[in-house]
Chain A
Amino acid sequence: MYFETWSAVWHMEGHGPYVWGAYSLTALVIVLLVLSPWVRARELTQDIRNEQRRAAAASALGADHASET
Chain B
Amino acid sequence: MWSIVHKMGSPPWFFRFANGAIAWLLPIVLITLVVGCVWGLLIAPPDYRQGNSYRIIFIHVPAAVVALAGYYVMATAGLMSLVWKIKMADTAMRALAPVGAALTFVALVTGSIWGKPTWGAWWVWDARITSMLILLFLYLGVMALSEAFDNKVAAAKACAVLSLVGTVNIPIIYKSVDWWYSLHQPASIKFTGESAIDASMLYPLLLMIVAFYGLFALSVLLRMRTELLVTHRQSAWLRSELS
- Hey, which bits of chain A sit against chain B, CB under 8 A? 1-3, 9, 12-16, 18-19, 21-23, 25-26, 29-30, 32-34, 37-38, 40-41, 44-45, 48-49, 52
Contacts and interface: CB of A to CB of B under 8 A. Distances in A.
- 7 closest Cβ pairs, A-B complex: A12-B52, A37-B222, A15-B52, A44-B229, A15-B53, A22-B110, A33-B219
Interface in B70-110: 99, 102, 105-106, 109-110
B51 A48 contact: no
Contacts of A33: 99, 102, 215, 219
B43 A1 contact: yes
Contacts of B60: 22
B239 interface: yes
A19 B52 CA distance: 8
A24 B37 CA distance: 11
B113 A22 contact: yes
Interface residues of B, number: 40
Interface of B: 33, 37, 41-46, 51-53, 55-56, 59-60, 63, 99, 102, 105-106, 109-110, 113-114, 116-117, 215, 218-219, 222-223, 225-226, 229-230, 233, 238-239, 242-243
B91 to A, nearest CB: 13
Contacts of A32: 102
Nearest to A1: B42
Contacts of B109: 22, 25
Nearest to A53: B243
Contacts of B233: 44, 48
8 contacts: A1-B42, A19-B53, A22-B113, A23-B37, A23-B56, A25-B113, A26-B59, A45-B229
